[in-house]
Amino acid sequence: MRLLLNFLRRPPRWLTASALSAWLCVVMVAEAADPWEEAENLRRAGQYLKAVEKYSALIQGQPNEARGYIERGRTFWRMGDLDAAIADLDRAVALAPMKAMRADIYNIRGLVLRDKKLWDQARLDLDQAINLYPNNGLYFYNRGLIWVDLGELERALADYTRAIVLDKWDSFAYKQRCYVRVQLGFYELALADGARAVEINPRDALAYFYRADAYEGLGDEERALADLNQAIALDPQLAVAHNNRGFLLASRGDHEQAIDALSRAIQLQPQYTSYNNRGYSWLELGRLDQAMADFNRAVELNPRDALAYYYRAATWLKKGDPAAAAMDATKSIELDPQEARAYRIRSQAREALKDPKGAKQDAWWATVLGPKPRKGTKAIVDPEILARERTALKAFLSEDTPATRSRLAAIRHDHAFAILNSTQPPTKRWALEEAAAYAQSATALEPNVAGHWLLQGMIFRELSQRDKRAQVLAEQALRQAVEVDPEYAPAWLELGMAMLEEGRNWEAMTALERAIEADPSRTIPLAFGPLIAMYVLNDQGYRGLQFFREMHLANPEVSALGIGTALMLYRNGDIASAREQVRDIMILEEAGTYEHDQAAALLDEWEREDHP
């Protein structure tokens, strides 16, 4: 039935509108003898009022038969009279004699309730349908749609998977599962679903559309564009494909082409999302009046669209009206409390309005809520991290307590580290900027945790390879880490290495010494070589000797400190004492250990120098 309805909604190109009408008329004449078929044909032809009259007459003749109520209910649904549809389907449930028929009624009524946005009731009806007839994949597919409406993506994923198990040729289920997996961050699996949908029906424009979504999530812009182009070639009237193509072009900075694509989407189907996307391109091009007009239209079409208010607030700010910007940003936040960008805009607006306290508070919220990168520019991380993050953020927004803050800070930290520590190091600046934003969220939530500051500093150090301005931010974060915890060795070590890279040797020496003092056994493998080199290059042999000697006396189990003492003794000309120190280490450490081998190599080198 679903395929037939799809055929009637979007007939093949060879079947013109006039041919379709003629075909339906032939069918109607041929089957006129059967009143049920006659009513069905009227409905299929879109003659809903006449179909209702026919079904009403049939119900009058058979008032205790469920079929009439089912079919008239379907017709009311197609007409958009949802209350009448539900009333008929309620009566049909009471009259249906067989489980399979009742299951189908619950399925239909569930979809009608979904159209009324009564999602909980709709889900209960689909539950009933599945309980009565659990081997029908269509019921799982439809319940999956409701789970998506409710934001329960994991449950939607389970239902689409069950639908596919029951019917491996169900391209609709593959497309929807592709969509859900993209939203959950399972881009590789989503790509496989999109590819399967294309394989099942290579003439299905929507299959390419959904696969493009997966490619975009993976950052493969060229393949995403190719699939969107193919979707448009198969169905030039597919507005969503033109919209997404424009969105992708805008993400690449091709705003003129993006505007052309989005204008076509608006021409086909004037939706608020396309106005938002086109407005964004106008805004990026500095065409503020055109941008404002598009955002105004987006708000008219959907007064509850938080994104439209955010974009309009940004436009007001650029037009020099901070009061209007603050008002629209506030509306955006009311509609979507997780819209970090709206907090950032309102912070700037309040600063301009001489409200520093409010601006500071909004800036904190913008940092806590984290980055909101445009689609296709989001670093890929383990979906399990994303799931934990959603849960932690929901709990924090529900109740701000030390426990909810701590949990959210921990997962923000993990998210930032996952980007930094990816097996494929992020080569794009935006990926590191996203990681930095998650680390900043963690520090805003828990400013007294040195580890968050350290991670932020490490990310900015990596970012400084692409933008030297990040060096200042890296140093600030690392110094904050050691201020929070003066004994935090990893931060001192990272700070020392940062100073060394900048040629600030004296500061580097101090930082590396502090790292070794705080945790000699863990930091000496990394700090030893650079610190020795700086002592030598800066003629600080006596400082080095004093440091290593005092540290070795306090930590005799760390033989590397003894080797450092020996090197400084040798550097200062006390060769006999240096050799004695090395021999002591060789006696204390077992042969074959790193420390023993290092001491032996050092002694051998010195003896060769004495006897060339």
Q: What is the pLDDT of residues 396-452, one digit of tens each?
A: 999 999 999 999 999 999 999 999 987 555 556 778 889 999 999 999 999 999 999
Q: Which of 27-36, 313-322, 597-606 has the lowest mean pLDDT?
A: 27-36
| Average pLDDT score over residue span 508-525 | 95
Instruction: Report pLDDT digits (tens) over 157-171.
Output: 999 999 999 999 999
Task: Kindly indicate the confidence band of residue 374, based on its pLDDT and cuts at 50, 70 and 90.
Answer: low
Inside any domain, residue 409: yes
Q: Is the pLDDT of residue 8 over 50?
A: no
Distances (CA, A) of 361 to 332, 339, 351, 367, 368: 17, 15, 11, 10, 11
3-class DSSP state of 320: coil
Instruction: Report pLDDT digits (tens) over 469-515.
Output: 899 999 999 999 999 999 999 999 999 999 999 999 999 999 999 99
| Average pLDDT score over residue span 339-349 | 97
CATH number at residue 453: 1.25.40.10
Q: Is the pLDDT of residue 377 over 70?
A: no
pLDDT of residue 185: 84
pLDDT of residue 526: 94
pLDDT of residue 611: 63
Quote the CA–CA distance of 163 and 170 in Å, as a whole number.
Answer: 8
Inside any domain, residue 221: no
User: What predicted TM-score, i.e. pTM, was given to this entire model?
Assistant: 0.77
Q: How many CB atoms lie within 10 A of CB 530?
A: 17
DSSP 4: H
Inside any domain, residue 70: no
Instruction: Report pLDDT digits (tens) over 181-212.
Output: 998 889 999 999 999 999 999 999 999 999 99
pLDDT of residue 427: 52
Inside any domain, residue 398: yes
Inside any domain, residue 476: yes
Inside any domain, residue 542: no
Residues of the chain above pLDDT 70, percent = 92
Task: Kindly indicate the confidence band of residue 608, based on its pLDDT and cuts at 50, 70 and 90.
Answer: confident
Instruction: Report pLDDT digits (tens) over 549-573.
Output: 999 999 999 999 999 999 999 889 9
pLDDT of residue 588: 86
Which residues 6+ apart lie within 8 Å of 170 measured at CB?
A: 137, 141, 163, 164
- Number of domains observed in the structure of the chain: 1
pLDDT of residue 3: 35
In 3D space, the residue among 92, 73, 93 whose CA is nearest the CA of residue 84 turns out to be: 73
Instruction: Report pLDDT digits (tens) over 24-74.
Output: 444 444 444 588 999 899 899 999 999 999 889 999 999 899 999 999 999
pLDDT of residue 467: 82
| Average pLDDT score over residue span 516-523 | 95
pLDDT of residue 607: 78
Q: Label each residue of 398-431 as H, E or C.
A: HCCCHHHHHHHHHHHHHHHHHHHCCCCCCCCHHH
pLDDT of residue 22: 40
Inside any domain, residue 416: yes
Distances (CA, A) of 36 to 28, 55, 56, 59, 65: 11, 8, 11, 11, 13
Amino acid identity, position 283: L
Instruction: Report pLDDT digits (tens) over 86-128.
Output: 999 999 999 988 889 999 999 999 999 999 999 999 999 999 9
User: What average pLDDT does the structure give for the chain?
Assistant: 90
Inside any domain, residue 473: yes
Are 317 and 310 within 8 A, CB to CB?
Answer: no
Structural domain for 403, as ranges? 379-485
Task: Kindly indicate the confidence band of residue 217, based on its pLDDT and cuts at 50, 70 and 90.
Answer: confident
pLDDT of residue 376: 52
| Average pLDDT score over residue span 242-254 | 94
